[in-house]
Amino acid sequence: MGREHRMCGETVDVDARIRSVLVDILGVSRERAATFDDDTGLFGSLPELDSMAVASLLTEIEDRLGIMIDDDEVDGEMLESFGSLRAFAEAKLAG
């Protein structure tokens, strides 16, 4: 599931890492996170993801993927769905 990326010579499963961040940061159960697909809504749809939680979510994704996210890259579209968030992270790792 999802494309694989290499980081420090290590293959990174972006999809799995983002799911685990949602579990660890938002307190979403592992079972529920496993059911998320590309169209599953995040910001505005997931009550656990309020504006305070957005900051923690982004920082933890930065840490686990070794990327830096500029605040002007963060908008409603990027956080709209699980698919858009994963696509953003994949583009960051590729770029």
Does the protein bind another protein through residue 87 (CB under 8 A)?
Answer: no
Nearest alpha-carbon partner for 93 in 62, 70, 49: 62
In the DSSP assignment, the letter for residue 67 is -
Does the protein bind another protein through residue 70 (CB under 8 A)?
Answer: no
Name the one range near another protein by CB under 8 A: 23-31, 34-42, 85-93: 23-31
Does the protein bind another protein through residue 53 (CB under 8 A)?
Answer: yes
**CA 82/CA 47 separation, integer angstroms:** 14
Nearest alpha-carbon partner for 56 in 44, 73, 69: 69
User: How large is the C-alpha radius of gyration of the chain?
Assistant: 12
Does the protein bind another protein through residue 63 (CB under 8 A)?
Answer: yes
Give the count of residues interacting with another protein (CB under 8 A).
23
- Binding residues (CB under 8 A) for another protein: these are 8, 20, 23-27, 48, 50-60, 63-64, 66, 71
